[in-house]
Structure 1
Amino acid sequence: MVSGFENFDNVFEDIFKQKSDEINEQLTRKLIISMVGDVNCGKSSTINRLMKEDIVSVGAKPGETKEIKEIAYRENIIFVDTPGLDDVIKTNSDITLKYYKNSDVILFFLNAAGTVLSESELKNLKEIEKVNQDIIIVLNKIDAADEIPELIKYIQDHTDYNYPVAPISSRTGENISFLQNKLMDVLEKKSKDILLATNLKDKASIANRWIIGAGGSSAAVGALPIPGSDFVPLISIQVGLIIKLSTLYNKPVSKENAKELIIATVIGNIGKTVFRQIVKVIPGAGSVIGASVAGATTVALGYAIKYMHENDIELNADQLKSVYEMFLSQQKKA
């Protein structure tokens, strides 16, 4: 082991176990996503768009949805489709509010082509927020409406800017990725983001989100560790990123291979200049990590692992070096 990193093996073992246990525990939890809104506001079609799969039947007519419907997706994810707002207020309100209380996130649907945030909708929102404030307001059918920025501001003004507003079109798919990001924001705080992410078809955008986030966290840690410095914070971030990305792509990484990747990146002689060059070919990375070498190494490592998973390349130090060299070659051509 390189001088100054004599405790690396023991530290790595502890970190790898801790991060693996955290992720495995998250995957055993139950995730409940509730949807509320008038019939034909696009609840079902939105979920189908989000998951890129026909999970919920669409086309309900007014008055049809009078009971709460639990739609089980995979083993641990449940979508809850509630009655229309008028039905919620008149019947089953106690039962429905109990579902909202137990939900991890509530998608509150509004119809951009209708009366946005009517008196009854605002009343219902205020009832829901008494039991759960993890709410995302979904402004659907923006393809059939005008002046969307004005509608968003109207919603924000009348809800005191308490909740994110996601303007989408479940028919065309516009802004579905924006809604996905808002969902991930809420679920990250509850340590349930990996559970949803592993079931999303859009792996690349989730991976990019995690990589840039880890790069920012690494930049906050400080400079790349040198012998004698505290390398634990950076190693912890990078090990966590490796395991998360491998879980996302359903390609488990062994402890030995993960150690190889960390050693090659942090302790090895690939060099600071290499990472500063690599990061130039990664969109958006520079603004996040600034001049931090620790941030650059984390981002470069993350994108290399993402590339390797997407192209079925075995995770080991030799392959990692080849991917880094490919990134550098691309940067020189650019």
Structure 2
Amino acid sequence: MTQWSDELQRAWGNLPKGTRSEIERGLQRVPGGLKGWRELIDQAAEHLRLVAGTKRKVAIVGPANVGKSTLYNALIRPDEEPAEVSAVPGTTREVQSADAGVFAMVDTPGTDAEGKAGEIDRQQALRAARGADLVVLLLDASHGVRNPERALHQELSGHGVPMIVALNKMDLVGDEVSEVIGRAIGTLKLSPDEVVPISALHREGLEELLFAMVRKEPEILVALAEALPAFRRNLAQAVIRRGASAAGVIGFTPLPIIDFIPLIGIQVTMVLGIARVYAYRINLARARELIATFGMGALGRLVFYELSKFGGPPAWLLSAGVAAGTTAALGYAAASWFESGKKLSGAELRTLMIRTSQTTIERLKALGRRKPRKPELTDRLDEALEALSKEH
């Protein structure tokens, strides 16, 4: 372990328990499920490489046919060489390693095969475990923890390498989930947070497993925590772009009064999406209330009036640009509120709406005065909103 890692371990240990818990709670609320975790890990990987200079090696160890290669394939990057998966015990005969962002995942042969070849496989797996920074002991939940698995756990514990027990194939235990987990905890004499139930085949519980892994590695936990704000902002930008693009399409074919209803629906959905990104729990009524506090209806009409009084763009272009621009501005204002607690004043929001609408309209002008087909409009709106997101 590097000197930097040692220092960080000490610093992490010296943090107040409340501070450590706050960081961990923030990471537990990563939006987007496993995909969200992958994106966050990608953002943290470069930071960790620059500071620590290396990835943390994670060895997946366990008996044959418990799903080690399936789990390995679920966690590594899509462009990495997958491990061969088969129902035949002993399919994995060599240690295999691949990139998984802040981790280097190591797939190992089974530890319970018999004979000379089986003993070679077992020693390979144990050697990989001793050389790892973290061990994931993978067990088959469908038959519980038997004496050989308990002995393997004891042997791995003696290596002094941090370890997590993952109970795989939870999809096969039916209604006995709690009992199976409880028996494993009791048999191995572990605390509940050291045993993670998963289904590698169905990719269930993998977010919880990743979180358990990073909790064992303070430097990774810190890297992820530092990457989390940028990750949330990127995710919020994607939500804003989708909402604003949909609003622009509605504005493209306005129906007096009636178009206001679906536009509000899109804006409410967008605000709810941004709230989820920042781990805020708000309901539909609260989202509508938030939009009302910004005075969106009146401000949108005011922006439309101010941008139309000078003439120029055709009405369809102006309407689409203002609908998309004002919705984007609402998204930026909501994201600012959720992220930092800062609420834009009416004047600030009006200025922002005019600027975002003008930028969108300028991009749409490339379509000419001829009214385009909706796919053309959508493509141009996406370009305009992508440019806007780079300014915020």
TM-score w.r.t. the length of structure 2 is: 0.43
Larger radius of gyration: 2
TM-score between the two structures when normalised by the length of structure 1: 0.50
Q: Higher relative contact order at CA 8 Å, sep ≥6: structure 1 or structure 2?
A: 1
